Amino acid sequence: MERSLVFIKPDAMQRGLAGEIISRLESKGLKIVAMKMLRMDKALAQRHYAVHKDKPFFNELVDFVTSGPVIVMVLQDDDAVKVIRQTMGETDPAKALPGTIRGDFGGDVSHNLIHGSDSVENAGSEIALFFSAKEIVDPFIEF
């Protein structure tokens, strides 16, 4: 089982797309094992996007993701990273296929609605930024 971090960005929250995005992810068989809404502070955003710290868009990215609330989730499935990335679509919504989240709703490369971990390795470190082990629930426990 793989786990991946996903967050619904401020532009999607402002446009009321959170439910649609979550629904699309769940319809692909992904299980939500952790979820919360928060307003990311600058320090957390900088840690999350540290791989981009030397790129010209870094400050704009940090400013954008801290501009409003986000919904942060841990999703689980056999191929979670791959399934999420396919469901999101290309980073640039202009290049994303119709039927993907970004292809159907994305604005531009800076306002592309959703973040998903790009590898299993990165998913582990990204999840640890937002969730403790106690906050992640096993969805396969019978009720």
How far apart CA 68 and CA 123 sit, in angstroms, is 23
Token digits of residue 61: 């990215």
8 A C-beta contact, residue 100 and residue 83: no
Buried b (16+ CB within 10 A) or exposed e, 75-99: bbbebbbebbbebbbbeebeebeee
Burial (CB count <10 Å: 0-12, 13-18, 19+), residue 41: exposed
Looking only at the bridges linking them, the beta strands covering 2-8 and 70-77 are antiparallel
Length of the chain: 143
Catalytic annotation on 115?
A: yes
Residues marked active site are found at 115
